[in-house]
Amino acid sequence: MLSNLGNSILFLCVILSLSIIYFANQNLKTPEGKISKIIYQFSLIQSCLILVCFFTLIAAFIVSDFSLINVYQNSHTSKPILYKISGTWGNHEGSLLLWAIILTIFSFLFLVYNNNHPKKFRLLTLIVQNILILGFLFFILFNSNPFSSIVPVPNEGLGLNPILQDPALAIHPPLLYIGFVGSSIYFSAAIASLISNYSSNSFSLSIKNWVLVSWCFQSLGILVGSIWAYYELGWGGFWFWDPVENASLLPWFAMTALFHSLIVFERRNIFYFWVIILCLMTFILSVMGTFLVRSGILNSVHTFASDPSRGLYILSFLSLMIFVSIFLLFKKYKRENYNINQNSKETFILINNWFMMFYLATVLLGTIYPIFTDAITNNQISVGPPFYNTIIIPIAVIFLLFMAVGPRVKWIKNKFEDLKIYTFILIGSLLINFLITYFLESYSILSNLIIISALFLISSSLIDGIKEFKKKRLDYARIISHASFGFLVLFIGLNDVFSIEKDYNIKLGETKKFENYSIKFQTLNLKEFSNYKAVVGELEILNTDTNKKNILSPEIRIYDNPQTLTYEASIKSSFLRDYYLTMSNIDRSDYYNIKFQKKPLMIWIWISVVMIVIGGFLRIFTNAKSN
């Protein structure tokens, strides 16, 4: 029953998309007047139906309807209700349905909230967006259908991958997809802008909040995924340059460059083609990330699938998008004479864009290079943190300095009036860095440069905030985001420099000593839970300098549905440091491998990202208020 209902709704959505395209095209023939009411009505019905379709799938997971292959493969009757619900989008088919929902809802909201822009531009945006919706609906119906049935109906399901049964993973995909898929609306708007010649700075007003919304949710999605990987995968860090992590980061770089370009375009009516290219690039990178994750060509702990037919469809769809984008760009491109002063805010934002493109190219190269190497030479290699750190960190030092100076530079032509302030800020940053290295006794030229440049950005942002507050024109959004980014880089630098990591093979009752710490393996217990069993260790971490003890309890979990073994880290968090411990058995012997890490200031890394996102949301509210 639910299978028939879901498939019927999907077919109705296809018919509605075709109808919207038809009526929008007919409405284009009458340039005067308003957009036809039937287009609004069909868009609203389409949004409501796709939501009903999604709730139908959720209901199937909740009631454990194993007549659906998707439910059978990704659920189990003993699974907690939260993970039954999150299992809806915790798989390939369900996540694609979530893609279709976001595409559809953004299409409707753009139509409703952009009614002060030209009719032709809005209708063309709607047409392009519905072409994208059709592309994904056809993919869902004929290749990745979440409502496919199975006969005979099994009595029990296979269950969801245990590492995905986690609160953070319940909210991570929806947040990330709003960022990923939300970029589709300004991809469609960019295509519409090129076709309709809507190239005035009013175009920036039509998309700037949509860019910020997708950027904020993309940032939150990356953050939640990073936190999940920290405590669930046993990696013990905030970022490991995993290929799937990189796939989410690539469009983030493009979004960041895009909304900075929009600032110039809105103010000076230049950088139009920068804006268009970045609009197109952001969604293309999102679809490319989807191809990499779902085609099976990436080797990662959280890739979705390895079905070549799915990869081929997405690759064809991606190639078509790229071809259309390049064709329209070549057809409409006109050389822009920026005529901007080298010492102006416009120049600094342009430099910011080139930094973002450099980071994007570096991460893209590191992600796809192993794929080509494997295909051409049949040699599997991995590109890890050493590659990215070597290339990105030195450039990041320069980037932070530009990021500190840029906001204080004036439009059109700047005069160097703040050299004295920058000199004091630099001296203060050097002094603070000296105190850190002197009292904490650690030194590395590169890490010191990162810390100094981060302090420079923080100090510059805060002083800028004080000056603007006195003039009663405080830009809260920019100051919070820039200062928080400085804090993020600072805490990452300090975390990297002052972390401790030790790896021991240890038996029950033994004690290991290192530096000013000792680890004692006290007890080992077997515990039973509703959907798994756990071997729980109890280890005492003693700081011999302060005589302070911490008890950590890492686990080895045994799941039945599906049969899986996972290793759960035990983490003791505080505002100053995290103690992090994982445990695994060595070949069923009496020895256990214990991995201990002391991670300074971890919580402040997460808080810094949250504050950056708060700055983004403040900008959205400021824009909405001014409009």
Distances (CA, A) of 582 to 232, 286, 520: 10, 34, 14
Summarize the confidence of residues 294-306 as an average pLDDT: 57
Q: Are 104 and 77 in contact (CB under 8 A)?
A: no
pLDDT tens by residue, 450-509:
999 999 999 999 888 887 777 666 678 889 999 999 999 999 999 988 888 999 899 898
Cα(343)–Cα(536) distance, integer angstroms: 61
pLDDT tens by residue, 6-27:
999 999 999 999 999 999 999 9
- What is the sign, positive or negative, of the torsion defined by CA atoms of 261, 183, 121, 105? negative
Angle (CA) 295-296-299 rounded to 5° is 140
| Predicted confidence (pLDDT) at residue 301 exceeds the cutoff of 70 | no
Confidence of residue 240 (pLDDT cuts 50, 70, 90): confident
Summarize the confidence of residues 434-440 as an average pLDDT: 73
Q: Given this model, what pLDDT does residue 545 score?
A: 81
**What is the full DSSP assignment across 269-332?**
S--HHHHHHHHHHHHHHHHHHHHHHHSS-S--TT-----HHHHHHHHHHHHHHHHHHHHHHHHH
CA-based nearest residue to 87, from 561, 585, 569: 561
Q: Which residue has the higher pLDDT, 183 or 443?
A: 183
pLDDT tens by residue, 78-87:
788 888 888 8
pLDDT tens by residue, 161-171:
777 778 888 89
Q: Are 489 and 449 in contact (CB under 8 A)?
A: no
**What is the full DSSP assignment across 568-584?**
E-EEEE-SSEEEEEEEE
Which of 1-10, 12-21, 435-444 shows the lowest per-residue confidence on average (mean pLDDT)? Answer: 435-444
Which of 47-56, 370-379, 525-534 shows the lowest per-residue confidence on average (mean pLDDT)? Answer: 370-379
Q: Given this model, what pLDDT does residue 356 score?
A: 94
Helix, strand or coil, per DSSP, at residue 239: coil
Confidence of residue 334 (pLDDT cuts 50, 70, 90): confident
Q: Given this model, what pLDDT does residue 27 score?
A: 93
Cα(435)–Cα(390) distance, integer angstroms: 26
Cα(68)–Cα(58) distance, integer angstroms: 12
CA-based nearest residue to 278, from 257, 293, 248, 301: 257
Share above pLDDT 70 across residues of the chain, in percent, rounded to a whole number: 93
| Predicted confidence (pLDDT) at residue 181 exceeds the cutoff of 90 | yes
| Predicted confidence (pLDDT) at residue 98 exceeds the cutoff of 90 | yes
Which of 142-146, 370-374, 516-520 shows the lowest per-residue confidence on average (mean pLDDT)? Answer: 370-374
Q: Which residue has the higher pLDDT, 587 or 205?
A: 205
| Predicted confidence (pLDDT) at residue 297 exceeds the cutoff of 70 | no
Q: Given this model, what pLDDT does residue 106 score?
A: 96
| Predicted confidence (pLDDT) at residue 174 exceeds the cutoff of 70 | yes
Q: Are 9 and 45 in contact (CB under 8 A)?
A: no
Q: Given this model, what pLDDT does residue 551 score?
A: 93
Confidence of residue 306 (pLDDT cuts 50, 70, 90): low
Q: Which residue has the tokens 């985001």?
A: 481
Share above pLDDT 90 across residues of the chain, in percent, rounded to a whole number: 47
Summarize the confidence of residues 129-145 as an average pLDDT: 93
Q: Given this model, what pLDDT does residue 30 score?
A: 85
Confidence of residue 539 (pLDDT cuts 50, 70, 90): very high
CA-based nearest residue to 326, from 197, 219, 460, 191: 191
Helix, strand or coil, per DSSP, at residue 595: strand
pLDDT tens by residue, 335-385:
766 677 777 888 888 899 999 999 999 999 988 888 777 767 777 777 788
Summarize the confidence of residues 420-443 as an average pLDDT: 77
Summarize the confidence of residues 588-593 as an average pLDDT: 87
Amino acid at 450: I
Summarize the confidence of residues 46-58 as an average pLDDT: 95
| Predicted confidence (pLDDT) at residue 579 exceeds the cutoff of 90 | yes
Helix, strand or coil, per DSSP, at residue 589: coil
Summarize the confidence of residues 293-314 as an average pLDDT: 65
CA-based nearest residue to 302, from 179, 181, 162: 162
Cα(418)–Cα(409) distance, integer angstroms: 9
| Predicted confidence (pLDDT) at residue 532 exceeds the cutoff of 90 | no
Which of 230-239, 303-312, 550-559 shows the lowest per-residue confidence on average (mean pLDDT)? Answer: 303-312
Q: Given this model, what pLDDT does residue 307 score?
A: 63
pLDDT tens by residue, 270-284:
889 899 999 999 999
